[in-house]
Structures are given as structure tokens and as C-alpha cells.
Amino acid sequence: MNETMPTSSMLLIAGTDTGVGKTWTGCALARALRRAGRRVVAVKPLETGCLGPPAETEDGVALARATGQVGPRHALLRFRDPVAPPEAADREGRQIDFEALVHQIREHAARADVLLVEGAGGLLSPLTWERNAMDLARALEARVLLVAADRLGTINHTLMALRILSLVRLDVLGVVLTAPGRPDSSTGSNAVAISRLSGLSRVLCAPRVEDPEVSSDCVQEVIEWLQLT
């Protein structure tokens, strides 16, 4: 597996699916990086299901709160309907300019040691009708932190995602498996299985933790993976 290549401070947090813990991981990592004295900015380029003004429940807002960044304080583009971004944009008669998003993210990166970007949905979920999270990682020259839920089925989902990341030659920093609200009999054993089957040593199990400060302890290992100088 293409596990290491510490060339960039750009990290794309991608998921095997929606709701697997990308934002939880991003917020925990942001807090851990801050605590380590790093300047961190987290960006949610596209967020859907956003009604009215930016709310505390939105990913972009939660990420900004975790980093303490001046801006952006919410997702770069927000859409009303809780569907894939290009579908949500079509419903509002709006366009998504992928190149402009990449440009904005790069500008935010200029004032950060580490820039975290959270994709929308899963790895192949569309960001526009032409581009997905892997295209964003490629455009930003970002490494990928793959997040999945530590439950039955995750071996298949995670191996499929790792296989396609390898095929398109994106650098995988590692995998974070987040503990589900309701553990099943596979929870706790999936990380070892994924490591064994993929050859990737960097597979971390994150326990179920609500306290933001404690959550940052849980992802401390990811900072070591980053090999920041």
C-alpha cells in the first residue's frame, strides 16, 4: 500500500460512507494539533442540508470551532437539501466551481501548518458532476486519512476504498475506525483484520468519546503519522 509520503501538510479526511465519523475525527485531530502547538485550519468545501444561517450542528462550523480559526467559519458552499452536492446545487439553480474551491482552500492553507479538508459523503460521492473527493485530494496534493465505522461490513468497505486509492496512486496516511453508538461483535477486531488484509500498519481504533478534549487524546497517533517537522 502507498502508506507514507510526507510531502504536504494538506490532509483530506475521506470516508467509506456518510456518517462514519469524518467530522468527529477532523475535530479531534484539529484539537490535538492545536494542543501540539500547530496552526491548523479545517475546511468543509461543500455542505448540504444547511437551512438558514450557519448552525452549530454544521460540519463546517464544528470544524472551525475545533481549530479556533478566524475563517472560514462555515462550509465554503452551503446548500439546502440533504443530498449530494451537485444534486443540491442543481435544485437551487447554482453552479459549483471546483477550481475556485481548490483555489480558496489553497489560500487558507497559506496560514496553516496543517490544513484539514473534509469531503462530503464517501470517497466516490460526487462533489460536482465531474469531480469527487479523490479529485480534490489530487488537486490539493493532499494525503488521505480514510475514516470508517468500526462495525460489521467495514472490512469490505475499507478494503474497497484502500484498493481504489491505491489504483489512483493517492497517498494514504492511514485509517481511523470510529466506534459506533451501538457496537456489534466485530467492533474492536476490524482494525487488525484490515491491517492484515491490506498490509497497512496505520489503522487506528477511536473509542466512543463525547468530550472534545478527550477525543483529541484518541487521535494522537495520527499526529505521529503526519511526521511534521
Ligand X SMILES: Nc1ncnc2c1ncn2[C@@H]1O[C@H](COP(=O)(O)OP(=O)(O)OP(=O)(O)O)[C@@H](O)[C@H]1O
Q: Which is closer to ligand X, CB of 107 or CB of 210?
A: 210
Using CB atoms within 10 Å of the CB of residue 81, give its burial: 0 to 12 exposed, 13 to 18 middle, 19+ buried: middle
Q: Return the range that interacts with Mg ion (CB under 5 A); candidates 54-62, 101-109, 156-164, 192-200.
A: 54-62
Of residues 114 through 143, those in contact with Mg ion by CB under 5 A are none
Q: Which is closer to ligand X, CB of 37 or CB of 117?
A: 117
Q: State the catalytic residue, choosing from 22, 44, 74, 151.
A: 44
Largest CA distance in the chain: 47
State how far the Cα of 112 lies from the Cα of 160, in Å rounded to an integer.
32
Q: Which is closer to ligand X, CB of 23 or CB of 69?
A: 23
Kindly state whether residue 23 participates in binding ligand X, applying the rule CB under 6 A: yes
Q: Return the range that interacts with Mg ion (CB under 5 A); candidates 14-22, 35-43, 50-58, 83-91.
A: 14-22
State how far the Cα of 73 lies from the Cα of 41, in Å rounded to an integer.
10
- Does residue 40 sit in helix, strand or coil? strand
44 is catalytic: yes
Q: What is the DSSP letter of 229?
A: -
What cell was used for 134? 479523490
Q: Among residues 50, 66, 137, 206, which is the contact residue for ligand X, using CB under 6 A?
A: 206
- For 149, phi then psi, to 5°, come to -90, 140
Q: How far is the CB of 59 from Mg ion (least distance, A)?
A: 4
Kindly state whether residue 59 participates in binding Mg ion, applying the rule CB under 5 A: yes
State how far the Cα of 211 lies from the Cα of 132, in Å rounded to an integer.
32
Which residue numbers are catalytic?
44
Positions touching Mg ion (CB under 5 A) are 22-23, 59
